[in-house]
């Protein structure tokens, strides 16, 4: 049994990891820490909190005193560090918040864990997993080989730069202090509980309400899509079977242009509404409710600054060293994701109210249709 801290556990990937960890390793003690910023939501964790399957702590990883007290009380032997500001557009508008959480927060957590494990003599059996992104590698051309663990860092947004800095800090702790840490760099995630500022849920909830589907530029930017369940399985594998001090790339090997993804969402909704007439009364604003195509909502808007053209992940090291391979087909995974949002309208209605709406209006309201 391990005592486990999962930071950012009320975020999209975090809460999926909490559920996956609870199922895969039921004897581990899980303490979930989250600052509960705009993108966090504990609704899916409430049953686990109620039956004491997990302990939830509202707290900021920059709070060194809190982090020390948690390590002292719970004697963590595993840390899965997912707490991060993660939206590129928000990093352009407010880069300082990304430095505070992603850089200084990671440093605070690393120092606290190192001090705790040294003082208790548990450094040799502890593990610190730092969850990062493929965006640290920059942008690929259409014919370039996929990012590998040896690809140079070339971040192009404040978000990517802050994650690159945190990766380097983890590497430095490994080299300087023998920190038992590992790093994972993943491609674009999708699945249940994703905040509707990200591409797939944004397009989906907008289509259901009959709102414009704003696609940056000409929609030709390419992303490698990874279902969150595949990602969580890989994280569970890496923290136990990966080599400390190493980096492992995690990707779905499902490259699609943004335009293709948005069109697939539209086409899936069109077919679903045709097959399930009752959806029309629930979502009367959706074009598919009247037998039209959701593609009519697609609007191309001016591109965001520094928009990377293509991401692709070479995950062969992960497969070779751990046997872990991602298995969710993108079309099937997207279909399951769409079904989840259709069945969980109350969740995203709550998330998309208030501050979220103000953010969408600010970010897209001044962009010009092209």
Question: How many C-beta atoms surround the C-beta of residue 272 within 10 A?
Answer: 15
Please choose, from the candidates 193, 152, 146, the residue with its C-alpha nearest in 3D space to the C-alpha of residue 20.
193
DSSP symbol at 313: B
Catalytic residue annotation: 134-135, 159
**Rounded Cα–Cα distance for residues 187 and 222 (Å):** 11
- C-alpha to C-alpha distances, 143 to 160, 207, 259, 309, nearest whole angstrom: 22, 33, 19, 12
CB 142 within 8 A of CB 87: no
State the burial class of residue 228 (Cβ atoms within 10 Å of its Cβ: 0-12, 13-18, 19+): buried
CB 353 within 8 A of CB 209: no
DSSP symbol at 251: -
**Rounded Cα–Cα distance for residues 331 and 194 (Å):** 17
- Backbone angles phi and psi of 254, in degrees to 5: -130, 75
Alpha helical stretches, state H, 242-354:
258-275, 279-282, 316-322, 330-343, 345-351
DSSP symbol at 310: B
């Amino acid at each position: 049994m391990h005592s486990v801290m999962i930071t950012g556990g009320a975020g999209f990937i975090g809460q999926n990891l909490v559920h996956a960890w609870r199922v895969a390793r039921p004897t581990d003690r899980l303490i979930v820490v989250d600052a509960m910023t705009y993108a966090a939501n504990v609704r899916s964790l409430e049953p686990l909190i109620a039956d004491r399957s997990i302990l939830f702590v509202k707290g900021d990883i920059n709070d060194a005193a809190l982090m020390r007290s948690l390590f002292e009380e719970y004697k963590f032997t595993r840390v899965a560090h997912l707490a991060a500001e993660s939206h590129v557009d928000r990093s352009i508008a407010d880069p300082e918040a990304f430095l505070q959480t992603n850089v200084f927060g990671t440093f605070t957590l690393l120092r606290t864990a190192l001090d705790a494990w040294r003082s208790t003599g548990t450094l040799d059996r502890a593990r610190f997993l730092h969850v990062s992104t493929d965006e640290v590698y920059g942008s690929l051309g259409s014919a370039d080989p996929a990012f590998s663990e040896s690809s140079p860092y070339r971040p192009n947004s404040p978000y990517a730069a802050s994650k690159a800095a945190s990766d380097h800090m983890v590497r430095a702790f490994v080299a300087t202090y023998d920190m038992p840490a590992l790093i994972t760099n993943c491609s674009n995630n999708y699945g249940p509980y994703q905040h509707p500022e990200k591409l797939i849920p944004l397009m989906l909830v907008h289509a259901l309400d009959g709102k414009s589907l704003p696609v940056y530029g000409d929609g030709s930017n390419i992303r490698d899509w990874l279902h969150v369940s595949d990602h969580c399985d890989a994280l569970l594998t890496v923290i136990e079977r990966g080599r400390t001090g190493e980096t492992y790339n995690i990707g779905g090997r499902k490259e699609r242009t943004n335009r293709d993804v948005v069109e697939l969402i539209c086409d899936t909704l069109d077919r679903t509404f045709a097959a399930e007439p009752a959806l029309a009364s629930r979502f009367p604003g959706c074009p598919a409710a009247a037998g039209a195509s959701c593609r009519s909502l697609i609007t191309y808007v001016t591109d965001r600054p520094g928009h990377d053209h293509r991401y692709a992940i070479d995950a062969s090291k992960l497969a070779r060293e751990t046997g872990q391979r991602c298995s969710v087909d993108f079309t099937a995974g997207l279909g399951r994701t769409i079904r989840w949002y259709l069945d969980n309208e109350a969740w995203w209605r709550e998330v998309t109210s208030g501050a979220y709406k103000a953010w969408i209006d600010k970010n897209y309201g001044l962009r010009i249709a092209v």
